[in-house]
Structures are given as structure tokens and as C-alpha cells.
Amino acid sequence: MNRRAKHKIILIAWIITFFLMGSGVWGFQAGHLMVIGFFMASLVLYGLAAFLMRCPKCRMPVLLRPRKVLGMELYTWSILAPEKCRHCGEILH
């Protein structure tokens, strides 16, 4: 199983957890705060993963996606890891 497939499974598991938890706790008094807290914790985890997952060859974060917009180099973050490094083309496993 490659990295992209693992990411899809993690993403699907996260969405299911989010909805299950959301529908389970929404009725409580602080239910929406718990959902927001879960969302914030997920963002922090994603941020950590985004900085820690680096290409073995060029050390650039693999989730950072360079784009050319109107001649300017812009970077966006993607949720799923690419199959190849977008900087040097190294195959990621």
C-alpha cells in the first residue's frame, strides 16, 4: 500500500469519526465546542504531519504544492500526499 492510499484511508476514517462524533455530541450543551475542539486538534495534527513528512531526497515538505499563478510562484497545501515529489520528482513510498 502506498502513501497516497494510506492518506485516503486516514482521511475517510477522519470524516467518519467527525460525523459520528458530531452527531453524537451535538445535542449536549457544549457539543459544538467539542466538535470545534476536535477540528482544531485535527488541524494541529495535520500541520505537524505536513511539516514532518518530507521528501527523502530534497527535504521539501511533500504536501507543499507549488503553483504558477499569473507568473508568480505560489504554494498551497494539499491534504493527500502526491505519488512523486513535486520538487525533484522522487517517487514517494
DSSP, residue by residue, 22-80: HHHHTTSTTHHHHHHHHHHHHHHHHHHHHHH-B-TTT--BTTEEEEEETTEEEEEE-SS
Kindly indicate which of the ranges 8-16, 42-50, 53-61, 74-82 contains the residues binding Zn ion, using the contact rule CB under 5 A. 53-61
> Binding of Zn ion at residue 58 (CB under 5 A)?
yes
Among 43, 45, 88, 91, which residue interacts with Zn ion (rule: CB under 5 A)?
A: 88
> Binding of Zn ion at residue 57 (CB under 5 A)?
yes
Give the binding site for Zn ion (CB under 5 A). Answer: 55, 57-58, 85, 87-88, 90
